[in-house]
Amino acid sequence: MIHSTKIWTRIEFLKDIHPSSTTPHNVFGRSHRTAARFRFAAALSARPETVHSKTHPTLSLRRRLPKPRRSPQAGPGLVDRYGQPKTDHLGFVLSNPPLETGPPADSESHVLTIDRIISHNPKETGGGPYLVRCSLDSDPSPQYVAKIYDGLEYELSEADDHGCDCMYWADMHYSREAAAYENIPPRFQGDIVPRYFGAWTFSVPASVGTSTQQRPVRMILIEYIDGESMLQWILRAAGNNTRPTRDMIDYSLLPTDGERLEILGRTVEAELAVWWYGGVHHQDISPRNIMISRPPGSPVRVVLIDFDLSHVLKLSESGRRLLARRELGALPISPIERYWPGAKFTCGDGFNGWISESWCVDGDVSDELAREWLVARWKGSPRYQPLSGGFLAIAARGEVSDSHRRCLAILKAEADEVRQENDDNGTWRTE
């Protein structure tokens, strides 16, 4: 008989580092082998709430180097004719542990206290990582978020021809997110993305018959953002309806039209900066992954989160080809070119609950007004490259309307002016 406790009461933490790095990354400034003391009490099955603990287990902490990918193990035959799993979930997790490499030479020590679970999707509806708020050492004021990728909390089932391999998804989410943060330039961390404090591994006891076996679980530590996601704002304005439509939304409960479009514009700029300068394609920009922090007396901060589906360009052949085509020191392409024609904001992904009320014409959301916003906000911006001739040719295709013609006329005039200026000077915009 195999079973695992539902409470993390004894956990071994291992400092980890993503394989894209070639040298150990000493996040906290110490690199000596020692013991670590952690305080945990987090019921995995509990809803997000404050939790407390009186135990202080002494645990060792050291670094490890995980591999970035694994192949799915689950497939057809995992469930019986009645849809019941043939494989014990914990047994599968123990038989298919997270990928390992040899440990680095050093380790660090800290006291980590979890005070509440932030969010988790139950495995019955797909599962996924746990997010918990925590602090380090004896100072409770600096708050961190631990994002924990436990395969036991992911779905294990037969799905289509491939199956849903809980350990594959846990490892994939962990490795992609760790790789993303390792590659995003430090100047963006603590600004448009959370600060990153490294990747870790801990052990959870599982009872196997009369013996106890330790199973490894991966996690990362990032900055705690004191704010709410764009989705939380939308859901609250829609009376907490989980499938809100525009007619449900009380716009008086949201920031003003101008403030919402400013936040949307800064989201676009953040995604583009991370993609261009960090070589990280987020691939899941939606209201649930945009944090809005409004600290008293400080400017509104817009933060991209949740990189567990991201693509680090330099880690794939296609990504390396894309990077090779970029000129060294070149400015990013314009958001106009990247987001044209604006449909990203007007259909799907939930942004139609956030965009300006003025974009809604006769009950429908207007792509034309989204295009006009792109042009008005970023035309002629010196922070980006001039629009390419290839883009202008593509943008001229398709529908023809007065709005479309106006946008194209503005963009072509701007491109001609910039091209003439650069021809006269013999220079092109660079950083």
Boundary-marking domain end, from 159, 194, 223 = 223
Please state, for a pLDDT cut of 90, what percent of the chain lies above it.
26
Residue 9: predicted pLDDT: 32
- Residues 416-428 pLDDT 10s: 776 666 655 555 4
What are 171-189's pLDDT values in tens digits? Answer: 889 989 999 999 999 999 9
* pLDDT at 232 (0 to 100): 93
Kindly tell me if the per-residue pLDDT of 367 is higher than 60.
yes
**pLDDT at 397 exceeding the cut of 80:** no
pLDDT at 400 over 60: yes
Looking at the fold, whether 41 and 96 belong to one and the same domain comes out as yes
Q: Is residue 239 part of a domain?
A: yes
Q: Which of 136-140, 170-174, 390-394, 399-403 has the highest mean pLDDT?
A: 170-174
| Token digits of residue 246 | 């525009």
- What pLDDT was estimated at residue 109? 65
Task: Average the pLDDT over 348-364 and give the result.
Answer: 73
Could you tell me the pLDDT band of residue 4, with boundaries at 50, 70 and 90? Answer: very low
Same domain? 391 vs 263: yes
Residues 162, 279: one domain?
no
Position 409 scores a pLDDT of 82
CA-CA distance, 195 to 184, in Å (whole number)?
10
Give the model's pLDDT for residue 324.
Answer: 86
Residue-wise pLDDT for 7-64, tens only, equals 343 333 445 544 433 322 222 222 222 222 233 333 333 223 333 333 422 223 345 5
211 shares its domain with 240: no
Mean pLDDT of all residues in 322-348: 81
Give the pairing type, strands 58-64 and 13-16: parallel
Give 247-273 pLDDT, tens digit per residue: 788 989 999 999 999 999 999 999 999
- Are both 181 and 272 inside the same structural domain? no
Q: How many domains does the chain have?
A: 2
The answer to whether 228 and 28 are in contact (CB under 8 A) is: no
Structural domain contains residue 236? yes
Q: Are residues 343 and 207 in the same domain?
A: no
pLDDT of res. 236:
93
Task: Indicate the residue type of 128.
Answer: G
- Final residue before a domain boundary, out of 173, 205, 223: 223
Token pair for residue 417? 């002016």
Residue 8 sits in the same domain as residue 144:
yes
- Long-range contact set of residues 294-302: C-beta below 8 Å, sequence gap at least 24: 294/227, 295/226, 300/259, 300/262, 300/263, 301/191, 301/225, 301/227, 302/192, 302/263, 302/266, 302/267, 302/270
Decide if 354 is inside a domain: yes
| Span of 161-175, 192-206, 209-223, 379-393 with lowest mean pLDDT | 161-175
Mean per-residue pLDDT, 307-331: 88
Residues 166, 92: one domain?
yes
Is residue 204 assigned to a domain?
yes
State yes or no: pLDDT of 304 exceeds 90: yes
Question: Whole-number mean pLDDT of the chain?
Answer: 75
Residue 276 resides in a domain: yes
Say if 430 falls within a structural domain: no
Task: Scan for tokens 């920009």, then name that residue.
Answer: 285
Confidence band (pLDDT; 50, 70, 90) for 69? low
Q: Are residues 293 and 341 in the same domain?
A: yes
pLDDT at position 297 is: 85
Greatest mean pLDDT among 18-32, 93-107, 183-197 lies in: 183-197
Dihedral class, residue 252 (left if φ above 0, else alpha if ψ from -120 to 50, else beta): alpha
For residues 218 and 75, membership in a common domain is answered with: yes
**What's the whole-number mean pLDDT along residues 339-347?**
73
Task: Say if 27 falls within a structural domain.
Answer: yes
Residue 274 pLDDT greater than 50, yes or no = yes
SS (H, E, C) the chain: CEEECCECCCCCEEEECCCCCCCCCCCCCCCCCCEEECECCCECCCCCCECCCCCCCEEEEEEECCCCCCCCCCCCCCECCCCCECCCHHHHHHHCCCCCCCCCCCCCCCCEEEEEEEECCCHHHCECCEEEEEEECCEEEEEEEEEEECHHHECCECCCCCCECHHHHHHHHHHHHHHHHHHCCHHHECCCECCEEEEEEEEEEEEECCEEEEEEEEEEEEECCCCEEHHHHHHHHCCCCCCCCHHHCCHHHCCCHHHHHHHHHHHHHHHHHHHHHCCEECCCCCHHHEEEECCCCCCCEEEECCCCCCEEHHHCHHHHHHHHCCCCCECCCCHHHHHCCCHHHCCCCCHHHCCCHHHEECCEECHHHHHHHHHHHHCCCCCCCCCCHHHHHHHCCCCCCHHHHHHHHHHHHHHHHHHHHHHHHCCCCEC
Whether 350 has a pLDDT exceeding 50, the answer reads: yes
Q: Please report the pLDDT score of residue 10 as a whole number.
A: 31
> Considering the entire predicted model, what is its pTM?
0.80
Same-domain check for residues 212 and 233 = no
Highest-pLDDT range among 155-164, 166-175, 200-209: 166-175
> Per-residue pLDDT averaged across 391-415, rounded?
77
Q: Write down which residue in 160, 193, 223 finishes a domain.
A: 223
pLDDT-derived band at 357 (thresholds 50, 70, 90) equals confident
- Domain ranges, residue 275: 228-425
Q: Is residue 431 part of a domain?
A: no
Q: Which of the four pLDDT bands, split at 50, 70 and 90, describes residue 85?
A: low
User: In this structure, are 240 and 345 located in the same domain?
Assistant: yes
**Residue 46 confidence (pLDDT):** 29
Q: Note the pLDDT of residue 408.
A: 78
pLDDT > 70? residue 368:
yes
| pLDDT score at 207 | 82
| pLDDT > 60? residue 429 | no
